[in-house]
Amino acid sequence: MSKENVLNTLNAALAKASLPEAKRHQPLAVLPTPEGSYMAAFQQALEALGGTSQMVENVVAARLAVLAILQREKAKQVLGWDEKVMPVPGLQQALADLGIIYRVPTITSGSGRGDISWLNDYPVSLTSAGVGIASTGTLILRSGPGRPRVASLVAPLHIVLLPATDIWPTLEAWLGFLRASGQVVDFFGDGVAQQIWISGPSRTADIELMLTLGVHGPRRVHVIIIET
């Protein structure tokens, strides 16, 4: 059995191993939390990474903001998450009224998936984020029903709806909250196959260490922060 072999060898090795002494310190060091409003800090951090954001007062204003962007972009079709999992109601209807196709993609894993190159036809995608992190300008998106992974990945422009109340100062503070409130399973439990922490646009420096945006993932990330 390969498992027993590996574990036996490891156990034997550990019995002989001489490792440097180092004590775990409790609590672990945490980087300072941003000063002032988390929202402003989030916007600043995101901007420094090449992302953009705007603040809106409520869900109605958020809906209008989405529509305005789609019109400006002349987007005819949008890829996105199911309206039911997003904080802004009535989006699908509003888009339909403007003649914009809204598709919540499903890609079967087994045979019979067929050609999925239609994924390339969407210039814009729309999702929400469960959590925002101010210190790093990070968005946390979970996979799950109504929340396809590809919706935040394949389009050149990714629009994200983020309720201001879901912005945490640091990743550590967020995790501390999950621990204290017993909500770790909501993000790391059986229901979530994948989560992705997004900090700004896709980037590379693989050619002569020069920065280029949008190499595989979205070139533009725009966050609409909803105050209430």
Partner 1 sequence: MKIRQSRSDFRQRVRASLADENLRISLQNLGRRMDKDRQQRWAETQDINALRRQAQAVRLDGLRHLPELLETLEAKVLARGGHVYWAEDAIAANEYILDVAHQHNVQRIVKSKSMTSEEIGLNRALQDAGLEVLETDLGEYILQLAGQPPTHIVAPAVHLRISDIARLFHEKLGMPETYDIELLTAAARSRLRRQFLRAEMGITGANFAVAETGTLAMITNEGNGRFVNSLPPLHVAIVGVEKVIRSLEDLLLLLQLLPRSATGQTLTSYVSLYNGPARPDDPDGPGEFHLVLLDNGRSRLLADGYGEILTCIRCGACMNACPVYQAIGGEAYGWVYPGPMGSVLTPLLQTEKASELPFASTLCGACRDACPVMIDLPRLLLRLRSQASEAQRLTLERLGFHLWANVATDPGHFHRAQKWGHIASLLLGLGKALRRAPWPLSRWTQMRYFPSVAQESFSHYWVRRQQNGREQSTGNPEGTSSEN
- Least separation, in Å, of the C-beta of 220 and partner 1? 13
* Half-sphere exposure at residue 33, Cβ-oriented, CA atoms within 13 angstroms: 13
Q: Which of residues 44-73 bind partner 1 (CB under 8 A)?
A: 49
* Number of other residues whose CB lies within 10 A of the CB of residue 139: 28
Tell the burial category of 136 from Cβ atoms under 10 Å away from its Cβ (0-12, 13-18, 19+). Answer: buried
- Least separation, in Å, of the C-beta of 67 and partner 1? 24
* DSSP class of 34: P
The yes or no reply on residue 74 touching partner 1 (CB under 8 A) is no
Number of residues that bind partner 1 (CB under 8 A): 82
Q: Which stretch binds partner 1 (CB under 8 A): 58-66, 71-79, 103-111, 121-129?
A: 103-111
Nearest residue (CB) to partner 1, 9 versus 165: 9
Nearest residue (CB) to partner 1, 87 versus 144: 144
Q: Which stretch binds partner 1 (CB under 8 A): 33-41, 71-79, 91-99, 116-124?
A: 116-124
Nearest residue (CB) to partner 1, 63 versus 149: 149
* Half-sphere exposure at residue 96, Cβ-oriented, CA atoms within 13 angstroms: 6
Q: Quick one: tokens of 114?
A: 């067929």
The yes or no reply on residue 117 touching partner 1 (CB under 8 A) is yes
Nearest residue (CB) to partner 1, 61 versus 178: 178
Q: Which stretch binds partner 1 (CB under 8 A): 61-69, 71-79, 93-101, 130-138?
A: 130-138
Tell how strand 212-213 and strand 203-204 pair up.
antiparallel
Q: Which of residues 136-165 bind partner 1 (CB under 8 A)?
A: 136, 138, 143-150, 153
The yes or no reply on residue 181 touching partner 1 (CB under 8 A) is no
What gap in Å lies between CA 169 and CA 35, rounded to an integer? 9
* Among residues 68, 89, 216, 228, the one that binds partner 1 under rule CB under 8 A: 216
What gap in Å lies between CA 13 and CA 50, rounded to an integer? 47
The yes or no reply on residue 31 touching partner 1 (CB under 8 A) is yes
* Among residues 9, 37, 58, 93, the one that binds partner 1 under rule CB under 8 A: 9
The SS3 assignment for 219 reads coil
Residue 147: phi and psi, rounded to 5, are: -125, 70
Distance of CA 26 to the CA centre of its chain: 30
